[in-house]
Structure 1
Amino acid sequence: MTTTRGRIAIRLAVIFGLLTSAGAASAQTPDRVSVTGGRIVGERQDGVRVFRGVPYAAAPVGPLRWRDPRPAPRWTGERPATRFAPACLQTGTSMPGEPPSPSAEDCLYLNVWAPIADGSPKPVIVWFPGGGLANGSTSIPLYDGAALARRGAVVVTVAYRLGALGFLAHPALSAESPDHASGNYGLMDQVAALEWVKANAAAFGGDPARVTIAGQSAGATSVSILMASPRAKGLFQRAIGQSGGLFEPTALAPQYQLARAEADGAALMTRLGATTLDEMRALPADRLLAGAGGVTHPVIEPRLLPEAPFEVFRAGRHSDVPLLVGYNAEEARSLTDVAEVTAANFNEKLAARWGRLPPPLPAPYAFTTDDQARTARLDFERDLRFGWDIRTWAMLQAEHGRSPVYLYRFERRPPWLAGSVRADWGASHFADLWYMFDHLDPADGNWTATDRVLADRMAEAWVAFAAIGDPNGRGGAWAPFTLADPKAMRLGETPAMGDLPEEPNFRAFDAVYDSLRGPR
């Protein structure tokens, strides 16, 4: 005989079962959207609309290898958009310990995470992954945009051509171009993706008039180039750069000039035993990547980047939009092995890595002991590769732009799991990504309440910035960076505005770089 309490329990169990079934069904509910090219079918997961593997350009294969991206061909019927497309062909991985992603030359796809539509257009964040323009994938879990989408942003992650497939310059390629230019195909992919976003953002509930370009490392370098590029003007209204940028004098990187890049491309063709572009386009793609050498960098050329970004910003010809930039306090710990550096061999090891440097550059990094020498080397690498570019980017915007710029210094040392590849990283390159994407997975670290609060604040600030051009969302305390008050938001245990500890080091770089550029 069933008691009243038993009947209630059964009824609750039935109701709970129905709710659970409905929740499971909703997690797999198809979501249909019409975009340029045709209709796609994504899905709803945990209150977010997700579309993976959406083509934004034609496959850059065969005769389209080393050509500017073409529109994706239309398709009939409904195209599934529930799986990531292969990453662009690459060597290595973008992050130590990251498993390689499946890759292919047919790779110009993007992914979208969007809030459930409520009738109000949402800001759009377009994310370009890092990886030194040689590797990187949109499918790694860290770039999942669901947490930012739940805060009210449409998040788009974009794959673009890498290595020699994305950046080869060659006299014959320039000759067949109406702009007499070659190289930068990966950056042209990014422009094509932004054009696609402008045309299709509204289909996902996004606002095409509030697009933020964002990236970390080489993704941030891409953002600095897009801000300087006439081809990208009008395609975005905000910009975020994390630990990357391209502002050094071109005298330090002559290979960025078109003529030198073309010569390097011709040398690659010779090494590969090809004599014509048709032969190069017929080569297996993996042979191109394996023999590319240093053909993995932007090129200053007429169609996308006619001038170095520093000169464009200094002349005020850049896209003058609100800017959020920053670097990490211990950038180099995840990238540079200093185990063999000592006080006695510091200069020798530095020269082996960077060649002969002007003495004023390493001068601020004083040391006496071996431990101090290792710290000095890490600090130098941080400033040379990331810190100086970010601070200079902020200064150029503050001096030559009208839109505000916000600067941060990420200082939190994540509680990485002992024994993992990240155990000794500290506040290194990559560390900020776990926080701004709000991905504090227990598989990665022993996260505390302090970490979760910081992740919440950073994710909220990034979405607020995308929405209004100001990171001050719920009770923020960010102040714009200005030449009169050059302070940064120091993102540590207790975020607060403060001075940059590296400013004396940066001034040494300023003096050397200004001497290489010549008078204004």
Structure 2
Amino acid sequence: MAAAASLSAAGISQQVLTDSGAISGVSANGLSVYKGVPFAAAPVGDLRWRPPMPVAPWTGTRKADAFAPACMQVGVSMPGEAPPEVSEDCLYLNIWTPASGPHDRLPVIVWIYGGGYINGSASMPLYWGDELAHKGVIVVTIAYRLGPLGFLALPELTQESPHHSSGNYGLMDQIAALEWVHKNIAAFGGDPDCVTVAGQSSGSISVSILMASPLGKGSFQRAIGESGGLFEPLQLGPQFLLANAERDGGKYAVSVGAPSLKELRRLPASQLTGNAGGIVHAVIEPYVLPASPYETFASGQQNDVPLLIGSNADEARAMVDVSHETAATFSSDLEHRVGQLPPALIAAYPHTTDEEAQQAQLGLERDLRFGWDMWAWARLQAGTGKRAVFYYSFRQKPPFPAGSFYAGWGASHFAELWYVFDHLDQAPWKWSAGDRKLAGEISNYWVNFAKTGDPNGAGLPMWPAFINTESKVQYLADPVTVGGVANIHGLTAFDSVYSTVRGKPFAAR
């Protein structure tokens, strides 16, 4: 195990010995911060579309005082975010630690960014771990390959793999980062046996996959998922199956003018990200994800750890514009956007007037994209797991200013992040005393959970565990209250349809 060379006084460069060599960070406000720490070799050249390889050792002390470029991507993961510098050489992580030395053995939160597996950055200021670290945890933000560079499946890739699989390279990066943390975090004052993996949106989908993956076993002891899971029936998404993903990958290769793997590896990375061609999702394959998360959880084979999950009341406001929605065009607009849905499902969202149609669209998209998956995840873990589930509904409306990207969005997708990281001051908005109180409560819940597997603690409203016979949900708003599963009518309609598609009722043991 790596050992600390020194953890010096504030204001002096910090040195730590990792398993690849010594690094130096910076001290700020009582924390030691390490930026751009490599956890795997650059996935370039012949290493493109291969599992992450170990970092080559170095001599001397490597400076870790600047963020590394983000992985190749186009666009940004959140409105208003500055586009990050990008590179194919991107497998780095960042660490915020309040530890005074390697013997502190503090809990660790490993954060996986969202962005639909298309974009996202481990260095985005909203995700900085400074405020959480001041509450007594180490925060690590990790990068992973995105889009076709992270999720391409091809017959040629499957054939060259000793595991007879392809795709999921981005997920392998996440697993490699967790393995790096397990090997090295003690040198930074962390406890390698008290690691919480956490993420939002596609980062949360990743958490659901890591709980289902045999490769994730033992690399984390708690899990947090915010607005994202992979539990809907795969019959509704056959592209997730390896054979179909390989066919899609072949079409993508032809579309970029490189019909062979050799030619694909020669292309500049920038030519592979402009048109993702749908190569932006996990693959059911023998190595990383041999079965769907639903099947894994339903059979009790998941990595059974305490779980804190939930979604937001107005998720879809960040996803769809309903200003022109009408009752007359509701069904056709919906089919154009997401495909044909069963009539019983559409009927669960009344749309006889234009105003109803707008609300129905927001409600259906919220539950389709996020609500049902989180409800299923909670019920599955509560049913087959032995570790507790804590389920939330985020309902606070941030003071998004008029004229901004977020105007009128309310408790939209990603709105909870300012509160989770206690970073209200990163946005120059008119935060209320209630917002600040809630940010303190939510960030303390998250930190307590990382420390003990239970979000409850002194001075916080009691958060009951979720069990299938009671279904108590923590409503995160000012004030914090306890309620039932939100939007249960629509979720039940989804559940009925999905159970029919799956061919058997939902398993809630």
TM-score (normalised: structure 1): 0.94
In the alignment, the residues of structure 1 paired with residue 200 and residue 347 of structure 2 have an alpha-carbon distance, to the nearest angstrom, of 28
In the alignment, the residues of structure 1 paired with residue 172 and residue 373 of structure 2 have an alpha-carbon distance, to the nearest angstrom, of 23
Q: How far did residue 28 of structure 1 move?
A: 4.0
Q: How far did residue 367 of structure 1 move?
A: 2.8
Is residue 19 of structure 2 the alignment partner of residue 36 of structure 1?
yes
Structure 1 window deviating more from structure 2 (440-449 vs 217-226): it is 440-449
Is residue 498 of structure 2 the alignment partner of residue 513 of structure 1?
yes
Q: How far did residue 276 of structure 1 move?
A: 2.5
Q: 2:112 matched to which residue of 1? A: 128
Counterpart mapping for 1:31-430 below 5 A: 31-117=14-100, 119-430=103-414
Q: 1:436 matched to which residue of 2? A: 420
In the alignment, the residues of structure 2 paired with residue 404 and residue 377 of structure 1 have an alpha-carbon distance, to the nearest angstrom, of 33
Q: How far did residue 156 of structure 1 move?
A: 0.3
Contact 1:417/1:444, CA 8 A, preserved across alignment: no
The residue identity in structure 2 corresponding to 1:201 is: I
In the alignment, the residues of structure 1 paired with residue 471 and residue 158 of structure 2 have an alpha-carbon distance, to the nearest angstrom, of 43
The residue identity in structure 1 corresponding to 2:347 is: A
Measured against aligned partners, the alpha-carbon deviations of 1:376-401 in whole angstroms (never above 9, x if no partner) come to 10111110001110111000000010
Match of 2:432 among 433, 438, 448: 448
Q: 1:490 to 1:307 in 2, by over 3 A?
A: same
Q: How far did residue 96 of structure 1 move?
A: 1.4
Q: What secondary structure sits across from 1:58 in the alignment?
A: coil
Q: How far did residue 444 of structure 1 move?
A: 3.6
Q: How far did residue 98 of structure 1 move?
A: 1.2
Contact 1:460/1:474, CA 8 A, preserved across alignment: no
In the alignment, the residues of structure 2 paired with residue 444 and residue 262 of structure 1 have an alpha-carbon distance, to the nearest angstrom, of 46
Q: 1:20 matched to which residue of 2? A: none
Q: 1:494 matched to which residue of 2? A: 479
Q: 1:3 matched to which residue of 2? A: none
Q: What secondary structure sits across from 1:324 in the alignment?
A: strand
The residue identity in structure 2 corresponding to 1:55 is: P
In the alignment, the residues of structure 2 paired with residue 442 and residue 205 of structure 1 have an alpha-carbon distance, to the nearest angstrom, of 27
In the alignment, the residues of structure 2 paired with residue 362 and residue 286 of structure 1 have an alpha-carbon distance, to the nearest angstrom, of 41
Q: How far did residue 286 of structure 1 move?
A: 1.4
Contact 1:52/1:84, CA 8 A, preserved across alignment: yes
The residue identity in structure 2 corresponding to 1:456 is: G
Structure 2 gap ranges (5+):
1-7
Contact 1:416/1:444, CA 8 A, preserved across alignment: no
Q: How far did residue 359 of structure 1 move?
A: 1.2
Q: How far did residue 185 of structure 1 move?
A: 0.1
In the alignment, the residues of structure 2 paired with residue 267 and residue 443 of structure 1 have an alpha-carbon distance, to the nearest angstrom, of 42
Structure 1 window deviating more from structure 2 (269-278 vs 25-34): it is 25-34
Contact 2:250/2:259, CA 8 A, preserved across alignment: no
The residue identity in structure 1 corresponding to 2:431 is: W
Q: 1:372 to 1:149 in 2, by over 3 A?
A: same
In the alignment, the residues of structure 1 paired with residue 90 and residue 487 of structure 2 have an alpha-carbon distance, to the nearest angstrom, of 40
Q: What secondary structure sits across from 1:151 in the alignment?
A: coil
Q: 1:320 to 1:442 in 2, by over 3 A?
A: closer
Contact 1:96/1:334, CA 8 A, preserved across alignment: no
Matched length: 496
Q: How far did residue 201 of structure 1 move?
A: 1.1
Q: What secondary structure sits across from 2:345 in the alignment?
A: coil
Q: How far did residue 116 of structure 1 move?
A: 3.2
The residue identity in structure 1 corresponding to 2:204 is: A
Q: 1:19 matched to which residue of 2? A: none
Measured against aligned partners, the alpha-carbon deviations of 1:444-481 in whole angstroms (never above 9, x if no partner) come to 42111111110001111101000100000223300000
Q: Which protein is bigger by CA-based radius of gyration?
A: 1
Contact 2:126/2:426, CA 8 A, preserved across alignment: no
Measured against aligned partners, the alpha-carbon deviations of 1:251-276 in whole angstroms (never above 9, x if no partner) come to 00000000000011111222222243
Q: How far did residue 168 of structure 1 move?
A: 0.1
TM-score (normalised: structure 2): 0.96
Structure 1 window deviating more from structure 2 (408-417 vs 216-225): it is 408-417
In the alignment, the residues of structure 2 paired with residue 488 and residue 481 of structure 1 have an alpha-carbon distance, to the nearest angstrom, of 7
In the alignment, the residues of structure 2 paired with residue 519 and residue 343 of structure 1 have an alpha-carbon distance, to the nearest angstrom, of 34
